[in-house]
Amino acid sequence: MESVEVSAKNVDEAIDIALSDLELKRSQVSIEILTPGRPGLFGLGGEQARVRVTALEEGTARPMQEEQADEGAHEEEPPRKDERQERESPSRERGDPIEIKDLDSEEVETATEFLRTLIEGMDIDAEVTVREPETAADGEGRASAVLDIEGDDLGLLIGRRGTTLAALQYMVNVMLTRKLNSRVIVTVDVERYHRRREETLQNLAQRMADRVSNSGRPMTLEPMPASERRIIHLALSEDEDVVTGSVGQGDERKVVIRPRGGGDGDGDGGDRYNR
């Protein structure tokens, strides 16, 4: 059965690239996380995530039509073919699929205590509470828990466009993987930042979908991380007038919104929600 290994900034990006390489959806593959990766605190240091993605059945890979728009944000141009990132050489290392555990599991408790220790070490007065993921922004279907940080003046923990928050989340998950040798992941949030960002993206998706529907031309959004692209795809998955796909590589990967019936998109790897 065909299998590829890919390295990228984070697990979601690596999975996206691998699925695009295999030309399959998530439901057609098994995913092994070889290295969860970490961006480093405040953008310093870090390592790439690496995954192995294997087709579940022989012969499932198939050519995909990739009418991909290469546009600036909200600008309209004819679509063109985009380049895919090269796959990485095979490795002997193996990993396990992501696991989802209960809130009272050892993994979630360990992650919570580690996050509290990090916050105390930064001399920040805040409280960490645990809840179940409820939406795509929470990591529903992937994360075992959301660790909410609440307190006063916590903008420092969020950072510009959530970069510091992302670093905290990676540190917690890397620690969890290495200390317990588990494949459980958690989402770290600060005063529901992810939920507010999700609402902003959903509103953006609908506005852009309306413009595409009225103009009959595709539009491309600004580059986004995989978790945010997934929110856009989900927000428009039931729209009768448009479909979504993605173009670009790594940090420059963007969501494309097209009129329905104008050709299949690549669907952001396994996150395709086109009908």
The ranges assigned to domains in the chain are 106-192
CA–CA separation, 212 and 244 (whole Å): 11
* Residue type at 82 in one-letter notation: D
Cα angle value 45/49/4 (rounded, 5°) = 150
pLDDT at 106: 94
Task: Tell whether pTM > 0.85.
Answer: no
Task: Name the most confidently modeled range: 4-8, 13-17, 144-148, 237-241.
Answer: 144-148
Higher pLDDT, 237 or 13: 237
Residue 172 has pLDDT above 60, yes or no: yes
Cα angle value 38/119/125 (rounded, 5°) = 150
* Residue type at 60 in one-letter notation: T
CA–CA separation, 208 and 71 (whole Å): 14
Evaluate whether the domain defined by 106-192 bears CATH number 3.30.565.10: no
Q: What is the mean pLDDT of the chain?
A: 76
Q: Are 177 and 37 in contact (CB under 8 A)?
A: no
